[in-house]
Amino acid sequence: MIFGLLQIRLAVALGFTLMTVLLLGPFQGLEVHLGLSDKTAHAAAFYLLSLGVFASLPHQRRTDLALWVLAFAATTEIAQGFTGRSASLEDLLADAVGIVIAVLPAMVERLRYRLNRAPEA
């Protein structure tokens, strides 16, 4: 294994910290310098954050973890209203898209597993 669980968890904690600073700080428009639209940047950031959370807590259900990441997204959007930035439902939906894209393969795999174990009718 290249990285241990501790290193992954530290990287995820750093990711949450960085996301909080970027989402609440005076960094609007930073994604343009990366060649991304605002919504694409939101979806990509929460996709990567979700994957990190899934890797750092391997024995937890991914759907539960995805809900926690979504709660973090909603909290940051609400907090933006108190920092001079505007809270945006569209940004929250973009965050949710990134989270769903991260959790969807696991959900499909779980469905495949259940269908393969189901008795033939």
Q: pLDDT grade, residue 121 (50/70/90)?
A: low
What range defines the domain where residue 94 resides?
5-117
Please write the tens of the pLDDT for every residue from 3-18.
789 999 999 999 999 9
Q: How many domains does the chain fold into? A: 1
DSSP 85: S
Residue type, 89: L
Q: Please, what is the end-to-end C-alpha distance for the chain in angstroms? A: 42
Other C-beta atoms lying within 10 Å of the C-beta of residue 9: 16
What pLDDT shows up at residue 85?
83
